Amino acid sequence: MWKSMVVKVCAGLALVLSLGACGDDDDGGGGGGGGSSGSMFSCDTPAKFACFEIAIPPGSGQQAAADQCTADGGTVGTACPSASVIGECNGAIHYFYYTGYSAVDKAEEVCVGLGGTWSTP
């Protein structure tokens, strides 16, 4: 289940991430003037006990991400729910895993393997 979710998210957001690469280089430092850093986008998929958040630059990338989210049975928003979180992976994309998610150990392994920071409440 975790693998198919990661594959779908990566495939659906490939366009979004490539569009982001054309914009500002956000290295975590202080921002300069001009341009927009994007607005927070979330996709909550309760049936999969998971949600993710990412800052997406304004434009067609937001619509592409929303279309992929709803096609995967998710609900588009601006923040993931905080109740019942059992694990989080914070990287370029912030993933939340909820009570009922059966592959938490694997999610942590993938998170760390991709350079993310894993945390539990």
Paired with 94 in beta bridges are 53, 90
pLDDT in tens, the chain (121 residues): 434 433 344 443 432 332 233 333 333 333 333 344 678 999 999 999 999 999 998 778 899 999 999 999 999 999 999 999 999 999 999 999 999 999 999 999 999 999 999 999 8
Q: Cα separation of 108 and 117, whole Å?
A: 9
Q: What angle do CA 67, 53, 31 make, to 5 degrees?
A: 115
Question: Quick one: pLDDT at residue 37?
Answer: 63
Any residues with CB less than 8 A from the CB of 10 and at least 6 apart, and which?
none
Q: 14 is in which domain, residue-wise? A: 2-19+38-116
- Is position 28 within any domain? no
Q: Cα separation of 67 and 95, whole Å?
A: 18
- Is position 79 within any domain? yes
Q: Tell if the pTM clears 0.85, that is, is over it.
A: no
Across the chain, mean pLDDT equals 77
- Is position 33 within any domain? no
Amino acid at 57: P
- Is position 93 within any domain? yes
- Is position 49 within any domain? yes
- Is position 26 within any domain? no
Question: Quick one: pLDDT at residue 11?
Answer: 40
Q: In 10 A of CB 71, how many CB atoms? A: 10
Number of domain units in the chain: 1
